[in-house]
Amino acid sequence: FHEKLPTAALELNADVVVQSTHKTLGSLTQSAMMHLGKQCSLQDADIHSALSLVQSTSPSYLLLSSLDAARAYAAKEGPAIYDTVVGLAQDARRRINAIDGLSILEKPESMSEIDPTRLTVCLGELTASGFDVDEFLCEKHGVYAELPSFRHITFILSIGTSEEDVERLVRGFESVASQFRRPEGDQGLNVSALVPQTPAFGEPVISARDAFFKMKEQVALDEAVGRICASPVCPYPPGIPVLLPGERISAECVDYLKMVLDIGGSVTGAQGDIIS
């Protein structure tokens, strides 16, 4: 919809593209679009078969209507809308870059394009992790990030973003820089120690189906080593499962999950430090 946005994946000959329309074009939450390329190498039957595994046979027409409304609005007003959005993003990028101790991720030489509406703030000069900063911004300034991580925090500017939102974001980061400023002589956080290394794939012992139907019990992480995992365990970030049903739980996986929790991350498939 705008010349300053990255080239669409379909124009780069992608077979299938899924767009989070609810994040970028204002459709209702849980709505998204899947696009097929003009020269898609996949068979329609295969795509429908895959969709049937995750889709309901009773779609929400409220969600579908919101997708159509968002599409029509973007088709008619897209260039003008994104003139404003890109301008707000550039203003936020310039002002946050000027704050001592903070920097915005810029386009690496290895990449041809970068989305200007995504702001990834690097926190390497502060004494806080991305999770700490996310909590601080939420509680003190009413600012919500798209993705907090170990040493970064990412925001999306969309058609709903206003000048007031950008002002609150910048003021929030000015407060962050003051609150978590590194003392003189302090070398800051040890990034290599802070970011846990992803463990090796688990050892499959029984099938996922057998694991699903077997009797289960919940145990503390420290007591789970050597046991068989009953449900997917997925730390966020990065949002990739480290354990799948039927795999043996290793000490390496347990240490990794505990480190993610200790630095403020979350683990889907666990209740605190309790897993099945």
Closest CA to 175 of 147, 148, 149, 136: 136
Give the containing element (helix H, strand E) for 274.
Answer: strand 274-275
- Is it the case that residue 61 has pLDDT exceeding 90? yes
Question: Average pLDDT in the 174-190 region?
Answer: 78
Torsion from C-alpha of 184, 187, 188, 193, nearest 10 degrees: -170
d(CA 23, CA 206): 39
- Indicate the SS3 state at residue 122: strand
Q: State the pLDDT confidence band at 242, using cuts at 50, 70 and 90.
A: very high
Identify the architecture of domain 9-179 in CATH: Alpha-Beta Complex (3.90)
Q: Which of 76-80, 109-113, 187-191 has the lowest mean pLDDT?
A: 187-191
Residue 28, pLDDT > 80, answer yes
Residue 34, both tokens: 């899947």
Which regions of the chain carry the CATH code 3.90.1150.10?
A: 9-179
- CATH 3.40.50.300 assigned to domain 196-275? The reply is no
Say yes or no to pLDDT of 127 above 60: yes
- Predicted pLDDT at 201: 84
CATH 3.90.105.10 range(s) for the chain read 196-275
190 — pLDDT class (breaks 50, 70, 90): low
Arithmetic mean of pLDDT over the chain: 89
Q: Does residue 246 come out as left (phi exceeding 0), alpha (psi in the -120 to 50 range) or beta?
A: left
